[in-house]
Amino acid sequence: MQAIRFTLIAFAALGIAAAGSVYAQGKAKERAPVIKVLLDNNKVRVTETTFKPGDVSRTDRKPRANYFVKSGTLERTTKDGKKTVYERKAGTSVWLEADSDVVKNIGKTTFVVVSVTPK
């Protein structure tokens, strides 16, 4: 009887350990970038967004001008699943139309962008 009880306890412990291992292998929780509002009035909204490696932005964005403070490598995924990798260099800027694409920092460094969004 004790042998059966010991066997059941051993199998239960193995089952719990295996379940924990499978759970740990699941998708890691995504981190959102840190967004700091620099100016917000009736004409414009200016934000500074800091993407650490692996950070993912999943928000709808209005047309805006972006100025890249720190260089980085980004992956943009459109609604239809198309992925594009961008290298953004510090000191450059770009105009972007409205989108709801997913943007992820796939580089090894922290990426910083200042966005100017007209209202």
Note the pLDDT of residue 28.
60
The pLDDT of residue 39 is: 98
Q: Which domain holds residue 44?
A: 34-118
In a domain, 44, yes or no: yes
Got the DSSP string for 20-69? Answer: HHHHHHSPPPPPPPEEEEEEE-SSEEEEEEEE-TT-EE---B-SEEEEEE
Residue segments in the chain with a per-residue pLDDT below the cut of 50: 5-26
DSSP 107: S
Q: What is the CATH number of the domain that holds 40?
A: 2.60.120.10
pLDDT of residue 26: 46
Q: Does a structural domain hold residue 41? A: yes
Q: How far apart are CA 22 and CA 59, in angstroms?
A: 30
Residue 47 confidence (pLDDT): 98
Q: Which strands form 102-105's sheet, in the order they lie side by side?
A: 56-57, 102-105, 72-77, 83-88
In a domain, 58, yes or no: yes
Would you say residue 4 lies in a domain?
Answer: no
